[in-house]
Amino acid sequence: MNFTSDILTAIVATSHPATEAVLPHFDWIPTISGLIRAGVLLLLGEIAALVLLWRFRPLLYRARIWWPSIAGAQCIIIYLAAWAVHPQHMATSSDPLAWWVRRVFAAALLLITIRIIDRIALVPVLTRRGKIKLQRFIHQIILAIVYLFSVFIFLSWAFGLHINKFLAGSAIISIVLGLALQETLSNIFSGMVMQASSPFNIGDWIACAGVEGRVVDMTWRAVTVLTLDDNHVLIPNSMMSRDRLTNYALPTVATARLIRMGIDYPSPPDQVRDVLLSVMKDTPDILTDPAPLVFLTAFGDSSIEYTLKFWIADPARHPFIENHVRMLAWYRVRNAGMSFPFPIRTVEMTDAAAGKKQSADAALQRRERLLSKVQLLAALTEEERGILGQNMRVRLYEAGQIIYRQGDVGNSLLIVESGQVELTIAGAGSRHVHSEVLGSGECFGEFSACVGGARTATVKAVGATSCLEIAKSALHTVFTGNAAAMEKVSALIAQRHDARARLVEELQLIDDTRVPQETLYNSLLGRMKKFFNQG
């Protein structure tokens, strides 16, 4: 045995003389008894480790330290086996190989311990026990610092290195690197400050440095924002810390938006307020709590300025919501007889009065031609249709807009000028029946306009629709002294009402304004005369 050891020692020393101090002799070759002790210890250690690890397996899995725990257990078992093989060598501090074994296993256990402490202590602290999302680059920086100091401490313990001399010697290098990496270091420390203060989280909608969008990532250098243009914009951390930052997700998800509109001076402010409030209440995605508000903010040169304030839950959809508010406001304001004035800057020498009259005459002729196609008004003379044309008002509706609902009180007749409208009758419970779709030249609302009472159906614009509204006063002017026209109109209304009345009856709808079917034709004319104060 000694002969073999001398030969191997000579070969190693010849090939690499520096190893002579590490392996002066091959006394570490285990004996049979040493191998038996090591085997028994390995077996018992593996069984004990298996029992303990399996007992705490759910906890280790949740903490994500299952594999580090297995590696740490194996290191301890192997180290104890080395003691079992040669306890006399491991106990002395002068044995070179034992000296290296102790330091190698200490280094391995140190790395494993750092990994375990990171998962069970460091991560919960940084995430506030899962309440906030951990930024990857912050975690990496903190781990790098922990590993760096751990290495310095290990080198000082294992090899007796003086770390203070090392740090003093690298001061000049640190200054040079600091100047060269000034911007990079600024981004890193700015990111660490933002992580500590948590001004936003991944997924929040923010506005900073002229960029607005959703935060999708945060690294050691920059914050990545996904804009409405579906582009990724990288904002350096140093710029984020210097510039004003708006987080639309804090303190609540409800975000207020402002829209300014100018309405003509003759329109009463209280009526304008009601119209604009109805616009916001009928716009999807606008929250009802807090309730929308309308403020009169200024008296401009050509209009009164109003500010619409409303709250939304998804800031990413604000362009679509504001677009819907503006479009619906245009229709509602026009239909209410108001307008959006604009300052006039061009001076043009034209006969404005003549041009305006010519435009009005053309519109009147177009309306009279449309009235001549309406079956309900076919009994009227051309002069009487001209009277209606002069007293009609144009109503504009957007796609899907409700013109009026079943049960609303109304006394006007509407004629479809362009587009289409859909009539729906609601019955008991949630039963609804689609009645019909009316196009250009067809009328609706005739029963309430000529008899009075509630509307018998809900009417909705199918697409962008323009309607002509004839008020009760205009019909009163036409029917005065024209009993024949009233009789013909009442007969046509009775025919149309009869078909809808059957639908109402099938739906078990209670309708106080409905005339019983058996007396419909006889009583309708009398009700019209009474409604127009002619009987």
Q: Is residue 499 located within the same domain as residue 370?
A: yes
The CATH number of the domain where 211 resides is what?
2.30.30.60
Q: Is residue 523 located within the same domain as residue 390?
A: yes
Q: Is residue 262 located within the same domain as residue 223?
A: no
Element (H, E) at 296: strand 293-299
Q: For the chain, how many structural domains are there in total? A: 4
**pLDDT tens digits, the chain, 535 residues: what are they?**
443 444 344 434 443 343 444 444 456 666 677 677 777 777 787 787 788 878 877 877 777 777 777 777 777 777 777 777 767 666 666 667 777 777 777 777 777 787 877 777 777 766 666 666 666 666 777 777 777 777 877 777 777 766 665 555 555 555 655 555 556 666 666 666 666 566 778 888 888 888 889 988 877 678 889 988 888 988 887 787 778 888 888 888 888 999 999 999 888 898 899 999 999 998 989 999 889 999 999 998 888 999 999 999 988 888 999 999 999 999 999 998 899 887 755 455 555 566 567 767 777 778 778 888 887 787 777 787 788 888 888 888 888 888 888 888 888 888 898 889 998 887 665 666 777 888 888 888 887 777 777 887 889 998 888 898 888 888 877 777 677 777 777 777 777 777 666 666 665 554 444 545 445 555 666 666 666 666 5
Q: Which one-letter amino acid corresponds to residue 503? A: L
pLDDT of the residue at 21: 45
Q: Is residue 369 located within the same domain as residue 277?
A: no
Q: Is residue 391 located within the same domain as residue 260?
A: no
Domain contains 191: no
pLDDT of the residue at 272: 93
Domain contains 353: no
Domain contains 354: no
Distant-in-sequence, close-in-space partners of 291: CB < 8 Å, separation ≥ 6 = none
Distant-in-sequence, close-in-space partners of 501: CB < 8 Å, separation ≥ 6 = 514, 515, 517, 520
Domain contains 340: no
Q: Is residue 228 located within the same domain as residue 104?
A: no
3-state secondary structure 83-112: HHHCHHHHHCCCCHHHHHHHHHHHHHHHHH
Two tokens, residue 63: 């903490």
Distance of alpha carbon 403 from alpha carbon 216, whole angstroms: 44
pLDDT of the residue at 175: 60
Q: Is residue 224 located within the same domain as residue 262?
A: no
The residue from 119, 149, 168 where one domain ends is: 168
Distance of alpha carbon 248 from alpha carbon 315, whole angstroms: 7
Region class of 405: left (phi > 0), else alpha (psi between -120 and 50), else beta: beta
Is the whole model's pTM more than 0.85, yes or no? Answer: no
Distance of alpha carbon 207 from alpha carbon 244, whole angstroms: 8
pLDDT of the residue at 307: 95
Q: Is residue 471 located within the same domain as residue 439?
A: yes
Residue 522 DSSP SS3: helix
pLDDT of the residue at 384: 79
Q: Is residue 209 located within the same domain as residue 158?
A: no
Range of the domain at 142: 2-168
Q: Is residue 268 located within the same domain as residue 223?
A: no
pLDDT of the residue at 3: 39
Q: Is residue 68 located within the same domain as residue 150?
A: yes
Residue 459 DSSP SS3: strand
The residue from 247, 281, 314 where one domain ends is: 247
pLDDT of the residue at 280: 94
Element (H, E) at 521: helix 520-531
